[in-house]
Structure 1
Amino acid sequence: MPPREALSERNSNNTMAQSNADVKARKNGKSTNASRAPSASAFPTPPASSARSGYESVYSAPSSSFQASSQQHSLAERNAWLADDVDVNEILESSQDYAERSDQLEHYGDLPTKIVGVRYYNGYANAGQQILILREPGNPYDGNAIRIDNVAGDQIGHIPRKVAAKLAPYIDNRLLHLEGQLAGEIGQFDCPLTVHMYGADPNTAEGQSLQEKMAADKLPTKALKEAERKRKQEEKERLAAARRAAVAAKGKYTNQASSAGDSSTNPMDLSDILEASERINPREISGAAEKLGATEEDLKNMPMAAKPDGIKTQMLPYQLQALQWLLDQESPKPPGSTNEESVQLWTQSNTNGRYTNLATQFVTSERPELASGGLLADDMGLGKTLEMISLLVADAGKGTTLVVAPLSVMSNWSGQIATHVKESHKLEVYTYHGAGRVKMSAEDFEKYDVVVTTYQTLAMDYMPKNSSKQPEKRLRSTGLYSVKWRRVILDEGHNIRNPKAKGTAAVTALMSRSRWVLTGTPIVNSLKDLYSLLRFVGVSGGLQQLDIFNRVLVRPMKNGDVSATWLLKLIMQSFTLRRRKEMAFIDLKLPPLEEFVHRVDFTEKERERYDALEKQAKGALNTFENKGTAATYSHLLEVLLRMRQCCNHWQLCGERVTNLLAQFEKAKTVALTPENMKALQDILQVQIESQEDCPICLESLHQPVITSCGHSFGQECIAKVIETQHKCPMCRAELKDETCLVPPARDGGEDSADEDLDVTQSSSKLEALMHILEATKGNGNKTVIFSQWTRFLDIVQSRLDKDGYKYCRLDGTMSAQKRDGALQQLEGDKDTTVMLASLGVCAVGLNLTAANNVILNDTWWAPAIEDQAVDRVHRLGQQKETRVFRLVMDKSIEEQTILVQKDKRKLMMVAFSEKSNKRDSARTGRLADIRKLLA
C-alpha cells in the first residue's frame, strides 16, 4: 500500500470539482456564516432577506437565467401510468448535470491564487485538501464573487476580487469548469489556492475559441500541450502493439469446415469437437478486479460468527464469516489515535486527535459520521439472501427491516425466510405492494419484523402520480417514508446505479439506522455505478457528492493514477465483501466449468453474402466519419446488425431496414406498417446493444423507444417533448402524439414470428450446433441453447423437430405460466434434453442447473450478460461438469467482438474506465469499437 503521503501528493496535483449551491442545505440548515463579521478582504454573506437561489454553483448562470431554465424543464409527468407502473429509471431534474460530466472535460491549465477573508474560518486545512468553488452572482458586495467552501459546506473565504472578475465570465457563460485545492496552510489573512481549469475538447470550434479567449486574458493553458504530447506518445505505442498482435495472430487458428444444409455429414464425437475448439477462460480477466478488494488469504481468515439459534439451515463457514462481517459493519467503531488502519477512509492523528479523510484530505475535530452497513457483493449463487436472513435473526426484535427488491424476486424473500428460520423464531413478514395496498402508519409497519416492497412501489410512495417536484427528506404521516427503519436492504442493488434516476432518489430518501446493498455486480458499466451504492450506504468525508467522487477517483483512474487505484482498493475493503465461487476456501464443490470458442467456417455462398455486407459496413463507416449525420450512423449500426445475423443464418439479415432507410431519404417519417415497425425495432435494438445515449438527457437509453422518423430516445424524455412541442428534437419532424413511438421488440430484440422465414433451411452455424448436440447427448446430459434472436430459435426448433429431439422453450413472447411450465419440463422430464432460450430473458433470476451444457450462438456486446446466462447453469446445485460453447464464425465480426469483449472486461472490471455521459465522447468510444470490428 502506498504511504498516505503519496495520496496527499496526488491530491495536491490532481483535479478538483466544485459543489452545487445546495451543499449547505444537505447539512440541515447548519451554517457558520451568520456568526461572521464582514471585513475589507472578505465578501460577507448577503443578509437574510436575500434569496438562497441567488447563490449559484459554478455551473449556473446568474439567477435570472437559471430560473428561466428551471421553468422550462418543470414539466408534468405523463398521465398514462398504471397503479404501480412507475419507471424507476426515469431521469429527475438535477442541479449537478455539469458536475456529473466534469470528468469528461479537458484540462486546460492551473491558476495559482489565494483565498482571502479566512480570519473567520474556524476549521482546519491541509495542503492538498479539496475545496468547493461556488459562484455568488447575487453577492451584494461584488457581482463577480466566487466563494470557497470546504467539502462539508463551511465557508473558508473568497477568491480575490481581481481574479474573480477575470474568472466570473467564464463561469457564467459555462466556458470553463473550475476545480481547486489548497496549496498550503491557512495564514492570518489568506491561504494559497490552486484553481484547475477544464473546458471543451480543444480540437472543436468551441475549444479553439476558448483557447484564444484564455490567451487574451492571460490565463494558463499549459496542461493542453502536455496532454497532446502524452496522447501522441500513447497512440504511437498503441499502433506498435497492434502491429505486434497482428503478426502474432497470423495462422493461430485452424478450423473445422462445416457443410451447411448437408445433414448427412459424418457426425463428430465429443473429442473431435473439443479438439476443434479453443479453450478460453473469460472470467480470468474479471478476477483481476478482486485485487481491488481483500485478498483471498484475508477473506479465508476472516472471523466467523456462531450460527444464530433461529436459523435451521446448515450454514457454510464462509457464510458464517459473512454474518460476522455484517454484524461488525452495522456497528462501526471510529478510528483511534493509536490505530494505523483507517476506518471507512478516516484516520485519527496521534498528536492532535483530529480526523482526516484520506480521499479528500478534509480535516475535522468532530468524530466523523460512519456508515452502518455496506455492499454484500458475493458471487451469484453463494447465498447472499441466507447471509442477510441470518443477520435479521441475530438482530431480531430491535426494529423493522425494509427489503426493496425487483418484482420478479420479491416473493423469494418471504419464501426464503420461511425456509431458513425456525418456527420458534418466526419472523413476521409483510408484503407492501400493488394498487390495493392499504394506507399504513409507522405504528402499523412496526408490528412486523420485515416489510418487503418493490422499487416501483417505493418510487410511487416517494413521488406519487403527476408529481414533478422531489419531496423533502423528512418523516411523513403514512407510507414507507413514515418510518425510521432498523435497516434497509436493496436486493439487486445495482438497480440504483444511475444517480439521477427516480428509483435512486427514492431509496436514498429513506430513513434508517443501517443500509445494505446486495448485488453480484456492483459495477456494471463504470465506476459511477459504485458511487450511487456508496452514497446510499452512507459514505462521508465529501465522497457522497458526485463531483468530488469524479475528481478523486473517476478522472484519476481514467488517467492511470496508481494512488487512485490504491484509494479504490481502500474503498472496496472498507465497504464491500465480495467472494467468488472459484475461490478455494469457498469450497462449493461445484463440478468444473470449461468454456470454449468453437470456430465455424462459412460456406462459399455464405462468405460471399457476408463479405458484401462487410464492404457495405466499411463504406458506411467512411461515410459517417466524413459526414457524421444521425442517418449515416443509424445506417452503419444497421449494417453491423445484418452482419451479425448473417453469421447465424443468411435468412435473418433481410432487406427491410435498408428499405426503411430508403424511405427516410424521401420523407422525414414513415408509416408505421408492421414491416416498418419491425425495421424500426431492428434499428432500436442495435442502439440499445451499442449503449447509445438518449439525445435529450444524455443518459443511457431508459425505456427506449424509436420515433416514426427513426430517432431513439428514452420514453419519458421524448414524451415530454411531444407534450410541449410535437416535433422531433433531432430533425423537427412532426410527432402528433405518443402513437408515433415504437417500443423495442419484446425482451432484448426478439421478433415475433416471421411469415417469410423458411425455417427448414440450414446454415453453417446450425450444422455446428447440431454436431455439438449429437456429440454431447446421452448420460443424462441436457443443453441450453441461447440466442438473442427468436427467429433463429425458430429455425433451430424446426431442426430439432426434424431430428427427433424433445425440447422446451423459454423466450420473452411467452406468458409467465408457460415459462414456469418450460422450467418444470427441463427439470422434471428426463426425455427433454434441450432448452431453447432467449439470452435476454435468461440472463438473470433463473435456476437452470438441470442442464449442464450451454451453447451461445451469438455474441453480445456486454460480456456480463453472457456470464450471467452461464451462471444460471453453473451454480450451487449443479451436479455435473459444465461445458460452454461459444459458436463464432471464423474471420467475421463475431471474432472481433470477442476481442472487444475482452477489452470491455478489462475496462470495466480492472481499470474501471468510464463510459462517457457526454454523447459525443460516448459515440467516439463506440466508433473505436466499430473500427476494431471492421479491422
Structure 2
Amino acid sequence: MTAKKRHVDAIDLTQDEGSSRPAKVGRSPQPRFSGNSMNAGQRFGQDTAFVPLSQADSIRFSQLDDDDAGADDLVQSTQNADDFNSISDSEFLTDLPTKIVGVQYYRGFATLGEHVTVKREPQNPYDSNAIRVLNVMGQQIGHIPRTVASKLAKYMDEKCVMVEGILTGVIGTYDCPLKLRLYATRNPVEQEALKRRMKQDRFPVQIRPPNRAAEAERDRIRKEAMKRGNAEEAGRQDSYTQAGRSQEAINPATLEDLINQSSTFNPRQMGQAVEKFGINESDLASMPMADTPSSMKTQLLSYQRQGLAWMLAKEAPSLPEQGSPGTVQLWKREGIRYKNIATHFATSQPPTLASGGILADDMGLGKTIQIISLIMANSKPRNPQSSSITLIISPVGVMSNWKGQIEAHVKPEHIPKILVYHGTNKKGANLSGYDVVITSYGALASEYTQSDGPPVKRSSGLYSVNWRRVVLDEGHTIRNPRSKGALAAYNLQADSRWTLTGTPIINSLRDLYSQVRFLKLSGGLDDLAMFNAVLIRPLSQGDPDGVYLLQEMMAAICLRRRKDMEFINLRLPPLKSHVLRIKFHSHEQEKYEMFQAEAKGMLNQYQTKGSGGPTYSHILEVLLRMRQVCNHWALCKDRVTKLTSMLEQHKVVELTPENVKALQELLQLRIESQETCAICLDNLEQPVITACAHAFDKACIEQVIERQHKCPMCRADIKDANNLVSPATEMGEDMGADSVDPNATSSKVDALIKILTAKGQTEGTKTVVFSQWTSFLDILEPHIKRHGIQFVRIDGKLNSKKRDQAITEFSNEPNCTVLLASLNVCSVGLNLVAASQVVLCDSWWAPAIEDQAMDRVYRLGQTRETTIWRLVMEGSIEDRVIEIQENKRLLSMTALSETENKKKGQHTAARLGDIEKLLR
C-alpha cells in the first residue's frame, strides 16, 4: 500500500487505533516511503531495542555478598542504554505480535525486517503508559497501541523485561506490523514468577512446572558439601605458619633432561574473531601494494606495503555504485536508496562512511611503521576545516618509542615536527605548530569533560584541534565503552580514526563494540542495544546470519595478518614451547594441601550463605595463597583478616598510614585476581579502593562521587576523590617481599635455576623471566646472584629513564643474560628480541597478557630459535589454570565468549564456576 503524503511535521505522539492526537511537534528530515518486501532468508540477527534489567533485579538473580552488590548509579555514557551487560545475560520469553500506530506522521522509509528501538515515554501528556518506536537514527516512527502499552509499560518501568522490535510487514497509511521480542533473566525462580504475572496480563508465555525432585537433590548435595567443607577447615594444621627450607640440592641438569621432563604447549593456537571472520589468507596475500613513501628511510616489507595501500583506501571510502552487488561498511545500494544489511535501515540520503579502521596485525609485524608510512604518505586533510596533524594516543610507557621510531624510519630532512604532549610539555603548548602529537590515554581523559550535547571546540588542548587522524595504540584500552578514556576518544574531532591492536577482542564481542563506536560506523551499530541485537545475540545463539554480518563488518574495517601466514614470510626462527611440571617438596605439599582444604571449606560456606561466613575477598585471598605457595611459601600473607574485622566493627576505616597500607594490600589482592570494577564491570585499569574497602576503576568512582558522594556498593559517605586509596606502586604491583632468608629456596626456584644453568644451551642465550609478583622477583635475586648470573630487572617502581637503561644493558651487554620482568610492565610496548628464551613463572585466568609478554621476544627482528618455558607445580591449582586458559582461548577463537558475561552476579557466578574447577 502506498502511503499518503502528509505535511504535518509531527514526530512525537501517543497514537492508538482511530486516534490522531499528536503530543509534540518536530521535523523529520527524510521523505516518507512505503516499505519494501524482504525474503525470510534475508533477515540478519534477531531484533532490536531493549530496556535493561535493574541493578536490584541483577543482584537478586545471583549469588552475591556485600563485595559484589549492585550499584544504583552506573557511570553515565552517551548511550540510551544503561546496562549493556544485562543484555547478554537474558533469556527469550515470548514474541508479541502488535503494530506501530501513528505512522502517518513518519516521513522516513520503513523497511520490512528493519530493527527498531522501543522506548518508554512516561512523561507523555496524553498517556503515561506511552511507548515510542524509533528507527536506528533516533527518528520516531510512531507508538505502540494503548492497549498493549498499558500492559507492557509496568514491566519496562520495573526494568525486569528487555524489549527488542522488528518490522514484520509493509507500512500502511496509519500503522505498521511489528513484532516485539521480550527477554528476561535466566534465573529460573525469578523468571517463573515473572511469567506468572505476565500470564495474568494475558501475555503469551509458557510456564514450566517446577522440578521438585531436582530441587531436593540440589539441596541435599549443597548440605553435604557444606559439611565436608567445614570439616576440612576445622582439621587444618597450623604448621603452615612455620617457614620451611628446602634441604634438597639443585642437581646439575642438561637442557635435554629438562625438555624430556616437559610437555609441549603452543600459545600460538590462540585465535581471534577477526582471524576467523575477517579477510581470508588467500585474499590477504593478493591485496594490492603501495609504494614506500619517498620520505621513508626504511623500505617497507611487501605485506607492510599492502597494509599501507589498504589504509590509504580506508581513509577515502566511497559508497557502492548503483547496480553494484557488494556492500561498503554494511551499506548496500537498492535503487535510489541505501540499505544497511545489519539493521535494515534504509535512506535515500547518502550515509556517512567511517574513514579509518582497525589495524590488528599480530604483535611484532610492524603496525607502528605502517602508521608512520601512512602519516608520511597522506597528511593532506580531507575537510577544509581540519588540520594536517596526526594525534597518536598510547600507553605512557611507549610514547617515547613512537617518537624514536618516527625519527629512525623517516629520512632526516623529512622528519615531521613531533610533540610529546604529556606532563610539563602540555603547559602552553601550541599544538598547531606540530605535525604529530603524541599523548597518553590518561592525558586525554584528563581533558575530557562529559556533556549531554555535541562536543564543543575548546580554545586550547586536545579538543581544540580537528585532527587529520587519530591513532589509538593498544586500541583495546578503550574496550570498556563507559570508561572515561573511551568517552574521551569517541569525542575527539578527526577526519580519520585508527586503532592498533593485536587483540581487538580480549574477552568478548563487547570489546569490538567500543572499536565500532570510536570509528563512527554508521547505520545504527554505534548503539549498544542495536549492536547486541544484530550481532552479539545472534552469534551467541549460533545464528548463521550473525556470522555473516560479523564477517562482512570485519572485512570492511579490520586488517589482521598473523606471523604464521605463508605470504608474510617473516623468516622467523622456530618457536618451541614447553610446560615443565615440578613436584612439591614435602613441606610445600603440606602447606599447599592446607590452603586447598581451607579454600574448599570457604567456597562451600560462601555458596550456601552460612551466617557469618566468608566473603568473596576471603576466597580470593586463600586462592592467591594457593598460587603463591606454588612459587615460594614466603609470598603468602594473610592480608585481609585484620582489615575485615575492623570493617565489621566500623564499616569505614580511618585513613591512617597503617590502614592505608592494609587497604592497598586488599586492593592488590583484587588486582592480582584480575577482578573487575563494580561499576562498569570491566577490568580495573586505574584501580582505587575506598575506605569502606570497595575497589573501582578510578574514572568510574570519580563520576559517581561527583553526583552523590556515596559508595555505590554500601552507601558509605565519600567526601571527595581525595579519599580514594591508590595502589602502592604505579603499575598495581605487590609491594615486594618481606625479609626472606636468601638461602631458603623452593621447588620452583630450583627449577628456574636449572633452566638458567642448564648445560647445552646455545652460546649467548639470554632469558626473560616473567612473574606477576615483584615479591617473587625479590626472592629470585639472591639465588641468581649465587650462581654468578648477571641480570637486570624491570618493574613498576622504575621510572621510564631507568627502564630504558635496563633494557639497553640487557640488549647490549654480552654478560647480562637474564632480565627479571614484571608481567604488568613488560606485556606491552617493549622490544626484547635480544632474548631467545622466556620463562613464565606463574599463570592466572586470562591468557592474553602472557601471550603479549611472549611477543616482546618472538617478533620481527628475532633471529634465534625461541624457547618458552612455563613452570607448573604438578597436581596443583596451576595445572587447572592452564585448562581454564585453554577454554578461554577456544572462546576467543570462536568469538562466542558472550557466555562469559560480566553482569553483576552472573560474572561472579562464572568466576565461582572457575574457582570450583580449580579446587576439584
Shorter chain as denominator, the TM-score bin is 0.7 to 0.9
Displacement of 1:598 in angstroms is: 0.7
2:250·2:754 contact (CA, 8 Å) conserved in 1? no
2:359 aligned residue: 376
What is the alpha-carbon distance in structure 2 between the residues aligned to residue 714 and residue 492 of structure 1?
19
Q: Match of 2:24, as an amino acid?
A: P
What is the alpha-carbon distance in structure 1 between the residues aligned to residue 576 and residue 375 of structure 2?
38
Pairing partner for 1:336 from 321, 328, 334: 321
In the alignment, structure 1 residue 402 sits paired with structure 2 residue 390: yes
Deviations 1:441-500 (A, max 9, x none): xxx65554333333333334332xxxx645632434444333333222222222222211
What is the alpha-carbon distance in structure 1 between the residues aligned to residue 712 and residue 52 of structure 2?
24
Displacement of 1:923 in angstroms is: 0.5
Secondary structure of 1:770's counterpart equals helix
Pairing partner for 2:547 from 565, 577, 581: 565
Pairing partner for 1:916 from 901, 905, 911: 901
What is the alpha-carbon distance in structure 2 between the residues aligned to residue 213 and residue 842 of structure 1?
55
Query: What is the TM-score normalised by the length of structure 1?
Result: 0.82
2:842 aligned residue: 858
Cα RMSD between the aligned structures? Answer: 3.4
What is the alpha-carbon distance in structure 2 between the residues aligned to residue 718 and residue 330 of structure 1?
37
What is the alpha-carbon distance in structure 2 between the residues aligned to residue 150 and residue 733 of structure 1?
42
What is the alpha-carbon distance in structure 2 between the residues aligned to residue 301 and residue 630 of structure 1?
62
1:805 aligned residue: 789
In the alignment, structure 1 residue 179 sits paired with structure 2 residue 168: no
What is the alpha-carbon distance in structure 2 between the residues aligned to residue 896 and residue 195 of structure 1?
44
2:52·2:82 contact (CA, 8 Å) conserved in 1? no
In the alignment, structure 1 residue 598 sits paired with structure 2 residue 580: yes
1:154 aligned residue: 139
Structure 1 range deviating more: 535-544 or 640-649 = 535-544
1:71 aligned residue: none
Structure 2 portions without partners, runs of 5+:
1-7, 28-48, 54-73, 219-243, 382-386
1:753·1:791 contact (CA, 8 Å) conserved in 2? yes
1:689·1:861 contact (CA, 8 Å) conserved in 2? no
1:894 aligned residue: 878
In the alignment, structure 1 residue 906 sits paired with structure 2 residue 884: no
1:624·1:632 contact (CA, 8 Å) conserved in 2? yes
What is the alpha-carbon distance in structure 2 between the residues aligned to residue 529 and residue 805 of structure 1?
43
Displacement of 1:876 in angstroms is: 1.7
1:348·1:354 contact (CA, 8 Å) conserved in 2? yes
1:80 aligned residue: none
Deviations 1:843-878 (A, max 9, x none): 112121111111111113221111111111111222
1:653 aligned residue: 636
Q: Match of 2:764, as an amino acid?
A: G
In the alignment, structure 1 residue 582 sits paired with structure 2 residue 560: no
What is the alpha-carbon distance in structure 2 between the residues aligned to residue 862 and residue 389 of structure 1?
31
2:35 aligned residue: none
Matches within 5 A, 1:617-766: 617-627=599-609, 631-658=614-641, 660-661=643-644, 668=651, 680-715=663-698, 718=701, 730-731=713-714, 741-746=724-729, 750-766=733-749
Residues 1:879 and 1:923: Cα distance change in structure 2 (over 3 Å): same
2:237 aligned residue: none
Residues 1:44 and 1:823: Cα distance change in structure 2 (over 3 Å): same
What is the alpha-carbon distance in structure 2 between the residues aligned to residue 343 and residue 832 of structure 1?
53
In the alignment, structure 1 residue 46 sits paired with structure 2 residue 24: yes
What is the alpha-carbon distance in structure 1 between the residues aligned to residue 869 and residue 312 of structure 2?
42
In the alignment, structure 1 residue 421 sits paired with structure 2 residue 418: no
Residues 1:533 and 1:433: Cα distance change in structure 2 (over 3 Å): same
Secondary structure of 1:131's counterpart equals strand
What is the alpha-carbon distance in structure 1 between the residues aligned to residue 626 and residue 795 of structure 2?
23
Secondary structure of 2:309's counterpart equals helix
In the alignment, structure 1 residue 482 sits paired with structure 2 residue 446: no
What is the alpha-carbon distance in structure 1 between the residues aligned to residue 129 and residue 537 of structure 2?
29
Displacement of 1:320 in angstroms is: 0.5
Query: What is the TM-score normalised by the length of structure 2?
Result: 0.84
What is the alpha-carbon distance in structure 1 between the residues aligned to residue 656 and residue 845 of structure 2?
29
Pairing partner for 1:506 from 472, 476, 488: 488
What is the alpha-carbon distance in structure 1 between the residues aligned to residue 435 and residue 723 of structure 2?
48
Secondary structure of 1:521's counterpart equals coil
Deviations 1:393-421 (A, max 9, x none): 22244451332322332233333222222
Identity %: 48
Residues 1:334 and 1:94: Cα distance change in structure 2 (over 3 Å): closer
1:242 aligned residue: none
Residues 1:883 and 1:920: Cα distance change in structure 2 (over 3 Å): same
Q: Match of 1:299, as an amino acid?
A: L
Q: Match of 2:443, as an amino acid?
A: T
2:705·2:720 contact (CA, 8 Å) conserved in 1? yes
Q: Match of 2:901, as an amino acid?
A: S
What is the alpha-carbon distance in structure 2 between the residues aligned to residue 813 and residue 451 of structure 1?
27
2:639·2:662 contact (CA, 8 Å) conserved in 1? yes
2:274·2:554 contact (CA, 8 Å) conserved in 1? no
Q: Match of 1:400, as an amino acid?
A: S
Matches within 5 A, 1:467-478: 469=451, 472-478=454-460
Residues 1:754 and 1:676: Cα distance change in structure 2 (over 3 Å): farther
Displacement of 1:607 in angstroms is: 1.3
1:839 aligned residue: 823
2:668·2:733 contact (CA, 8 Å) conserved in 1? no
Displacement of 1:725 in angstroms is: 7.7
Displacement of 1:696 in angstroms is: 4.2
Displacement of 1:735 in angstroms is: 6.6
What is the alpha-carbon distance in structure 2 between the residues aligned to residue 708 and residue 188 of structure 1?
61
Displacement of 1:307 in angstroms is: 1.8
1:882 aligned residue: 866
2:42 aligned residue: none
Secondary structure of 2:471's counterpart equals strand
Residues 1:531 and 1:482: Cα distance change in structure 2 (over 3 Å): same
Matches within 5 A, 1:517-556: 517-556=499-538
Deviations 1:105-149 (A, max 9, x none): 332211111112223433333332101112222333333222212
1:17 aligned residue: none
Structure 1 range deviating more: 532-541 or 715-724 = 715-724
What is the alpha-carbon distance in structure 2 between the residues aligned to residue 808 and residue 127 of structure 1?
65
What is the alpha-carbon distance in structure 2 between the residues aligned to residue 400 and residue 513 of structure 1?
10
1:138 aligned residue: 123
1:462·1:471 contact (CA, 8 Å) conserved in 2? no
Residues 1:765 and 1:733: Cα distance change in structure 2 (over 3 Å): same
Structure 1 portions without partners, runs of 5+:
1-30, 50-56, 62-88, 236-258
1:390 aligned residue: 373
Deviations 1:824-847 (A, max 9, x none): 221122111111111111111212
Residues 1:807 and 1:718: Cα distance change in structure 2 (over 3 Å): same
Displacement of 1:436 in angstroms is: 5.4
Secondary structure of 1:381's counterpart equals coil
Deviations 1:576-617 (A, max 9, x none): 011112212111121111111110111222112111111111
What is the alpha-carbon distance in structure 2 between the residues aligned to residue 42 and residue 114 of structure 1?
15
Displacement of 1:893 in angstroms is: 0.4
What is the alpha-carbon distance in structure 2 between the residues aligned to residue 899 and residue 193 of structure 1?
46
Deviations 1:143-177 (A, max 9, x none): 32222122122322221121111212222232322
2:312 aligned residue: 327
2:486·2:514 contact (CA, 8 Å) conserved in 1? yes
Displacement of 1:738 in angstroms is: 6.6
What is the alpha-carbon distance in structure 2 between the residues aligned to residue 417 and residue 756 of structure 1?
45
What is the alpha-carbon distance in structure 1 between the residues aligned to residue 460 and residue 733 of structure 2?
42
Q: Match of 1:562, as an amino acid?
A: P
Displacement of 1:647 in angstroms is: 0.6
Displacement of 1:261 in angstroms is: 3.0
Structure 1 range deviating more: 357-366 or 572-581 = 357-366
What is the alpha-carbon distance in structure 2 between the residues aligned to residue 729 and residue 164 of structure 1?
33
What is the alpha-carbon distance in structure 1 between the residues aligned to residue 367 and residue 748 of structure 2?
39
Residues 1:171 and 1:709: Cα distance change in structure 2 (over 3 Å): closer
1:473·1:509 contact (CA, 8 Å) conserved in 2? yes
Deviations 1:527-549 (A, max 9, x none): 11111111121211111111100
